[in-house]
Structure 1
Amino acid sequence: MNITDSLLVVFAMALVTYATRAGGIFLVGFVPMSTRAEAFLRYLAGSVLVALVVPATVRGGPEGYVAVGVAILGTLVLRKALPAIALGILAAALWRASMGAS
């Protein structure tokens, strides 16, 4: 896969993500908000993130554990998820580079 294909895939994923979020916001406008529904929506993003991260961490080996550890510490220090995730990715890349993994 060359860089153009990779960028096209990333762009398509971003477009689908945006459409899903925008469609969800539109559809939620028609749902009566109970306390339970509101709590469900509040914690949904976090639970999806955990569902994606845990299997990748277990399969990823040491760099996966380093990435998650750095991301958790980054979240505690920065109080923002996106920069913390970026730090975790950077830590995993540096770990792999320093250990000679491909």
Structure 2
Amino acid sequence: MSTTIWIILAAAIGTYLTRIGGHLILSRFERVHYRVEAALNAVPAAVLTAIVAAPASDHGWRELLVLVFCVLLSLRVSMMTMFFAGAALLIALRHFFPA
């Protein structure tokens, strides 16, 4: 097999072990401390911010506009609604205003 296939397989195994490891560790506790639960609930927002904020600052006005739109929208609607609305707006802006 090529090196690329081995890298993909290693990344898949590493991802699986990371996910199942967290589940196995937390399943040993009867109750999870409220601070741990709050930190785990904040992880999706932190990951989305890390994924979206860096490209938004490196690219043009469309991405920055969508980032501001999502920040304002997140004050009123759920995270999934905000995410889909932001993605739809970004797709529309990239379609109608190509670089």
Which TM-score band applies after superposition, normalised by the shorter structure?
Answer: 0.5 to 0.7
Give the equivalent residue in structure 2 for 1:45. 44
Larger Rg belongs to: 2
Provide the aligned length of Structure 1 versus Structure 2.
Answer: 83
SS in 2 for 1:33: coil
- Extract unaligned runs of 5+ from structure 1: 1-15
- Extract unaligned runs of 5+ from structure 2: 1-14
Give the equivalent residue in structure 2 for 1:83. 81
Q: What aligned pairs does 1:1-102 form with structure 2 within 5 A after superposition?
A: 20=19, 23=20, 24-31=22-29, 33-77=32-76, 79-101=77-99
Determine which structure has the larger helix proportion and give its number: 1
CA shift for structure 1 position 95:
1.6
SS in 1 for 2:55: helix
Aligned partners of 2:26 and 2:39: how far apart in 1? 12
CA shift for structure 1 position 35:
4.3
AA in 1 matched with 2:68: G
- Give the TM-score normalised by the residue count of structure 2: 0.61
Identity across the alignment (%):
18
- Give the TM-score normalised by the residue count of structure 1: 0.60
